[in-house]
C-alpha cells in the first residue's frame, strides 16, 4: 500500500537466509533497502539500482511505487519477486529480467478467480505461504479482508482477516486490517509467523501461539531501528 507521511514501508519480501541470518527487502517510494537482521543494512538506494536485472524496471511505474510484494519459488536457481501496483503485477527473475507484466487477474489460470473481487486491484499487502502439496499459495490483504489463493486449486479463503482462523481472531483492533504490508518470517516451533506493518508500528503474529511482538518498528530490534531511521529519510514524493 503506497503510504503517506506516517508510513514506514510500502512493500516487503523475505529473502533467502544468508549464513543463518534472516534477510528482508523493504520498499518505500523509489528506494529499497536490503536488511540483514543480524548485520544491518546491506543496500539502500534506488529500486532500479539494487541488482542488474532490477534495471529492467526503469521504464515501468514499479521503479517508484510498489504497492505489495511477494517472493516466489526459485526458477532455475534464480530468485523471483512478484510486485503489485493498482491492477497490475510484475514478475521479476533476478537473473533473467521481467517474466510477466500485466493485470493481476492475468497472472495465471487461478488468478482469474479474482475478477470481480476487490482483490483484483489496489492490494494493501501480500505474503507467500508454504507449499500445499507442491502448490504455491498467496495471501492477499485489502482493508479488513483477506484472500488465500492456491495457484493450482483457486481461492481457499475469502473473508475478514479476523475470521481466518487460529490466532488471527486475537488481533488487537488497531491491527484488524488496512496494513501497509505483511511479511512472512521464519517459523517458530513449527508455527507460521507473519509480520504486519501499519504506519510506524508492527506486529508479529504466531499463527498458533498469538502475538509475539507489538510496538514501534524502531524498537523491534537494532537492525530494524537502523532500517526505520534510513527509510524514514526517504522523501514522501521521492
pLDDT tens-digit profile of 185-226?
999 988 999 999 999 999 999 999 999 999 999 999 999 999
Supply 166's cell numbers. 487460529
**Phi, psi for residue 166 in degrees, rounded to 5:** 55, -140
**Domains, in order of start, for the chain:** 11-232 (2.110.10.10)
Convert the pLDDT of each residue in 140-164 to its tens digit: 999 999 999 999 999 999 999 999 9
Check whether 86 has a pLDDT greater than 90: yes
Q: What percent of the chain has pLDDT over 70?
A: 96
CB 171 within 8 A of CB 163: no
What span, in angstroms and rounded, lies between the C-alpha atoms of 119 and 124? 9
CB 33 within 8 A of CB 227: yes
For residue 178, what pLDDT is reported? Answer: 97
Check whether 29 has a pLDDT greater than 60: yes
CA distances for 134 relative to 91, 130, 151, angstroms: 20, 9, 10
Convert the pLDDT of each residue in 96-113 to its tens digit: 999 999 999 999 999 999
Check whether 3 has a pLDDT greater than 60: no
**Phi, psi for residue 237 in degrees, rounded to 5:** -105, 25
Amino acid at each position: 500500500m503506497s503510504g503517506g507521511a506516517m508510513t514506514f514501508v510500502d512493500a516487503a519480501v523475505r529473502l533467502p537466509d544468508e549464513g543463518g541470518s534472516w534477510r528482508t527487502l523493504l520498499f518505500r517510494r523509489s528506494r529499497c533497502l536490503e536488511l540483514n537482521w543480524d548485520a544491518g543494512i546491506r543496500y539502500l538506494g534506488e529500486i532500479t539500482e539494487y541488482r542488474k536485472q532490477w534495471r529492467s524496471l526503469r521504464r515501468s511505474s514499479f521503479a517508484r511505487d510498489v504497492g505489495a510484494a511477494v517472493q516466489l519459488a526459485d526458477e532455475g536457481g534464480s530468485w523471483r519477486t512478484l510486485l503489485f501496483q493498482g491492477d497490475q503485477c510484475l514478475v521479476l527473475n533476478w537473473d533473467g529480467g521481467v517474466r510477466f507484466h500485466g493485470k493481476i487477474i492475468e497472472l495465471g489460470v487461478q488468478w482469474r478467480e479474482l475478477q470481480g473481487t476487490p482483490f483484483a486491484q489496489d492490494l494493501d499487502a501480500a505474503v507467500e505461504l508454504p507449499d500445499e502439496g507442491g502448490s504455491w499459495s498467496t495471501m492477499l490483504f485489502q482493508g479488513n479482508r483477506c484472500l488465500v489463493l492456491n495457484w493450482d486449486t483457486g481461492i481457499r479463503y475469502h473473508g475478514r482477516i479476523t475470521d481466518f482462523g487460529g490466532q488471527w481472531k486475537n488481533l488487537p483492533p488497531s491491527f484488524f486490517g488496512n496494513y501497509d504490508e505483511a511479511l512472512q518470517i521464519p517459523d517458530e516451533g513449527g508455527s507460521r509467523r507473519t509480520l504486519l506493518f501499519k504506519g510506524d508500528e508492527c506486529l508479529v503474529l504466531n499463527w498458533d501461539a498469538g502475538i509475539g511482538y507489538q510496538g514501534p518498528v524502531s524498537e523491534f530490534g537494532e537492525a530494524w531501528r537502523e532500517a526505520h531511521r534510513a527509510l524514514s529519510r526517504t522523501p514522501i514524493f521521492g
